[in-house]
Structure 1
Amino acid sequence: MSEADALGIVQQAIWLAIVLAGPVVGSAMIIGVGVAFFQALTQVQEMTLTFVPKIIAGFFIILLTGNYSGALLKVFTEQLFLRIATGFK
């Protein structure tokens, strides 16, 4: 295994982590901005109000994108095992 092989694997793994976390992080950001706007309008400064909607939205996003995320992770793992079996040729 050369340095280029290792760098390629790390690059693919980082990109996969970004793609898998993207929907959950994006929805949490959108919900966070909406809750902050609501708190600014109503002057309700409840700390737990920011966390509960993010957790609920994250749960539903994981339910919606779970199959796609699992399929991406499966393909990456199969490619990695195949490269290990063939000796990175």
Structure 2
Amino acid sequence: MSEAALYDALRQGLWVAVLISAPLLTVALVVGVGIGILQALTSVQEMTLTFVPKVGAMLLVFWVSMSFMTTSLVAFFVEGIIPRIEGG
């Protein structure tokens, strides 16, 4: 495997990682900002108030986007990694 092919596979792998993590990170950001604004407005500084809704929302989004994540990973391995292994 040439150096260029290795870097191309690495680039594709990083892009798949970004695509897979984007829904979870976006929801964590939105819920965190929303809870932060709510805490600032009400002056309630409870740590579990930020943690529990964020984890709950991330679990819900993970459950909804599992098929997208699985499809993306399988497509990356079938179309990107396995042909490189077979090709030598």
What is the CA-CA distance between 1:22 and the residue it aligns to?
A: 0.3
Q: Are residue 82 (structure 1) and residue 83 (structure 2) matched?
A: yes
Name stretches of at least 5 consecutive residues in structure 2 with no aligned partner.
none
- Matched residue count: 87
Bigger helix fraction: 2
The whole-number CA distance in structure 1 between the counterparts of 2:84 and 2:10 is 14
The whole-number CA distance in structure 2 between the counterparts of 1:13 and 1:51 is 30
Q: Are residue 24 (structure 1) and residue 24 (structure 2) matched?
A: yes
What is the CA-CA distance between 1:14 and the residue it aligns to?
A: 0.5
TM-score, normalization: structure 2? Answer: 0.95
AA partner of residue 16 (structure 1) = V
Q: Which moved more, 1:77-86 or 1:39-48?
A: 77-86
Q: Deviations 1:7-36 (Å, cap 9, x if unpaired)?
A: 001000111110000000000000000000
What is the CA-CA distance between 1:78 and the residue it aligns to?
A: 1.2
Could you say which residue in structure 2 is the equivalent of 1:52? 52
Name stretches of at least 5 consecutive residues in structure 1 with no aligned partner.
none
Q: Deviations 1:37-72 (Å, cap 9, x if unpaired)?
A: 000010000011111111001101111111011001
AA partner of residue 84 (structure 1) = I
AA partner of residue 16 (structure 2) = L
TM-score, normalization: structure 1? Answer: 0.94
Higher relative contact order (CA 8 A, sep 6+): 2
The whole-number CA distance in structure 2 between the counterparts of 1:73 and 1:2 is 23
